[in-house]
């Protein structure tokens, strides 16, 4: 069907997208790579060549780097555990015959559409504020000492905020996957005397395995670059400085572009490791 | 007997689902409620839920700050503008990959996807520098381009998965009936592609509206959208919960409504077609 003519027309139709993406990806990346080998501090007017890998070793050996990796792992890991476990349970619950399923579904997915700065500020002020927040009112009502969430449990608080935003995403995808499950299979298992737990373990969970993988990988990609939530809550203080935030601070706040660019390249490498795994999973689907 | 048990189960599950659903929705509900309170009621202890004097004062105050409308306008321009340009570039690309697939199509698609996974912070400084050199830092045009680029892979992927579902036989049948290429595109393909394009547009507007890395780091005044406007509330002076709530409600309401219409597309778009 595809003639030589239509093939070259197709190539022509693709070229703007390919060209733009190529430029968008390569130009800044090459510049970052170049800056990462320089002593480049615009505020001091230094733009000196040939640091070699000096910036990299300085970035990696600073205690801030190790702390940022720990913070990143805590944030990504915490949110993944909460959203995947919560998402599976919620998806199963929403798959049951219940009254008003459509409305409950709408309520559950709503947080995903709230812009990150809004959700971070609403949680920070109206819920977690130690004086006027709802949690403080609740604690006082119960006769407990109110907690200053964002300075006493900063990472936990941010994990809570981000999980609230991403739980809907996990739930929605896992619900879509559960609904594609053959209900006859479940009924047959029930007839054969399989209890709810073994039905969950032997039928539902294996069926969901692929979707869970997809949820984990896609969320990891997005969670690695969480920015706004940290920016408006703690600004990276109290051990909430993730790798993304550390690089942002080095490059923009302390204007050490050479050092920050080395950090940026490290962030790119780490994200690509996750991305490679994700592409394998998604790529398999293309053949099907 | 059996029926009684299932009804009981249904009641129990319904109650549980509603409780959880309302708990998850509560922060949004609370924001909306607070936006109709006075600043004093907004921080009242114990909190008041419905029995307060409802007021629209916060909305008028936020509106009257002349800048709110500008931020809102910027959000609309950035979201709609980046979507329109993205669609113009993505439709031909997705179209040709879906209907004239070559040996490399899959690789090209995967490569496009991989550009989406580049952590933005890794290229922040060069992009900033380029914009400064060109004198377009904090301009809407630059932001439209950047938002278009970060969402382009998702747009192409989504369109590709939609276009692929259009059966090729229909084209052949049309050709048999003497349709020219122009007829084919105008009367056969376009009507079938419109639902897919519409869903893609919807999802992309949502993503662009809520984007909060580039909009926070590359704008100051002129091009700043609502994400930046709301972030400016992070250093509060005095009582401001009710006004923050009013501004937040206005910032999220349009997208919340669009989002509820696009639940299904969201799954497809954000999993790159891996879950449908």
Question: What ipTM was predicted for this assembly?
Answer: 0.82
Q: Which carries the bigger pLDDT value, residue B34 or residue A210? A: B34
Instruction: State the pLDDT at residue A229.
Output: 85
Share of chain B above pLDDT 90, in %: 11
- Based on the number of CB atoms within 10 Å of its own CB, is A96 exposed (0-12), middle (13-18) or buried (19 or more)? middle
Instruction: State the pLDDT at residue A288.
Output: 44
Structure tokens at A196: 């709810």
SS3 A47: strand
First to last CA, chain A: 21
Residue A31 — very low, low, confident or very high, per pLDDT cuts 50/70/90?
confident
Interface of A with B in 36-75 (CB under 8 A): none
H or E stretch at A121: helix A116-121
Q: Which carries the bigger pLDDT value, residue B19 or residue B199? A: B19
Report the CATH number of the B67-270 domain. Answer: 1.10.3720.10
Residue B66 — very low, low, confident or very high, per pLDDT cuts 50/70/90?
low
Residue B1 — very low, low, confident or very high, per pLDDT cuts 50/70/90?
very low
CA distance B117 to B121: 11
CATH superfamily, domain at A66-243: MetI-like (1.10.3720.10)
Report the gap between the CA of A39 and the closest CA in chain B (Å).
Answer: 14
CATH 1.10.3720.10 boundaries in chain A: 66-243
Instruction: State the pLDDT at residue B18.
Output: 92
Is B151 in CB contact (< 8 Å) with chain A? no
Is A261 in CB contact (< 8 Å) with chain B? yes
Domain boundaries, chain B: 2-34, 67-270
Report CB contact under 8 Å: A228, B213: yes
In a mutational test of the A interface, the residue from B5, B125, B227, B262 whose CB has the highest number of chain A CBs within 10 Å is B125
SS3 A54: helix
pLDDT for A132-161, tens place per residue? 778 878 888 888 887 888 888 888 989 999
Q: Is the distance from CB of A253 to CB of B238 less than 8 angstroms? A: no
């Amino acid at each position: 069907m595809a003639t030589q003519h239509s093939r070259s027309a197709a190539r022509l139709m693709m070229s703007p997208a390919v060209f733009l993406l190529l430029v968008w990806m390569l130009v800044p990346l090459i510049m970052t790579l170049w800056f990462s080998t320089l002593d480049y501090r615009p505020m001091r007017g230094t733009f000196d060549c040939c640091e070699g890998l000096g910036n990299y070793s300085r970035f990696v050996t600073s205690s801030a780097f190790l702390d940022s990796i720990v913070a990143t792992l805590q944030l990504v890991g915490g949110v993944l555990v909460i959203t995947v476990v919560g998402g599976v349970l919620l998806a199963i619950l929403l798959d049951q015959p219940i009254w008003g399923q459509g409305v409950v579904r709408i309520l559950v997915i709503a947080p995903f559409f709230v812009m990150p700065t809004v959700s971070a500020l609403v949680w920070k002020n109206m819920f977690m504020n130690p004086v006027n927040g709802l949690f403080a009112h609740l604690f006082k009502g119960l006769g407990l000492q109110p907690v200053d969430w964002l300075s006493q449990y900063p990472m936990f608080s941010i994990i809570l905020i981000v999980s609230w935003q991403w739980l809907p995403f996990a739930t929605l995808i896992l619900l879509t996957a559960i609904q594609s499950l053959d209900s006859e299979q479940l009924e047959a298992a029930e007839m054969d005397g399989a209890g709810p737990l073994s039905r969950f373990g032997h039928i539902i969970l294996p069926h969901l395995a692929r979707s869970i993988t997809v949820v984990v990988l896609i969320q990891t990609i997005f969670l690695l670059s969480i920015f706004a939530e940290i920016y408006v809550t703690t600004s990276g203080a109290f051990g909430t400085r993730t790798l993304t935030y550390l690089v942002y601070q080095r490059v923009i706040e302390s204007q050490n572009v050479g050092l920050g660019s080395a950090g940026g390249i490290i962030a790119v490498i780490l994200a690509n490791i996750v991305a490679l795994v994700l592409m394998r999973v998604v790529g398999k689907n293309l053949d099907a | 007997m059996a029926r009684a048990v299932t009804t009981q189960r249904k009641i129990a599950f319904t109650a549980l689902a509603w409780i959880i659903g309302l708990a998850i929705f509560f922060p949004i509900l609370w924001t909306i409620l607070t936006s109709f309170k006075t600043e004093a009621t907004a921080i009242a202890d114990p909190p008041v839920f419905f029995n307060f004097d409802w007021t629209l004062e916060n909305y008028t105050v936020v509106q009257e700050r002349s800048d709110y409308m500008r931020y809102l306008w910027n959000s609309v321009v950035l979201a709609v503008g980046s979507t329109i340009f993205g669609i113009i570039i993505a439709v031909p690309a997705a179209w040709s990959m879906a209907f004239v697939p070559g040996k490399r199509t899959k690789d090209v698609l995967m490569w496009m996807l991989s550009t989406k996974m580049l952590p933005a912070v890794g290229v922040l400084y060069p992009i900033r520098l380029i914009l400064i050199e060109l004198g377009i830092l904090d301009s809407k045009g630059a932001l439209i381009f950047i938002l278009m680029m970060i969402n382009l892979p998702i747009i192409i992927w989504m369109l590709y998965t939609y276009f692929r579902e259009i059966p090729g036989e229909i084209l052949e049948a049309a050709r048999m009936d003497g349709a020219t290429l122009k007829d084919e595109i105008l009367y056969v393909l376009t009507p079938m592609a419109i639902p897919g394009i519409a869903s893609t547009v919807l999802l992309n507007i949502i993503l662009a509206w809520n984007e909060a890395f580039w909009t926070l780091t590359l704008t100051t005044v002129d091009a700043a959208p609502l994400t930046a406007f709301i972030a400016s509330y992070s250093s509060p002076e005095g009582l401001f919960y009710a006004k923050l709530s009013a501004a937040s409600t206005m910032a999220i309401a349009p997208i919340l409504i669009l989002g509820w219409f696009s639940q299904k597309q969201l799954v497809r778009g954000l999993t790159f077609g891996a879950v449908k």
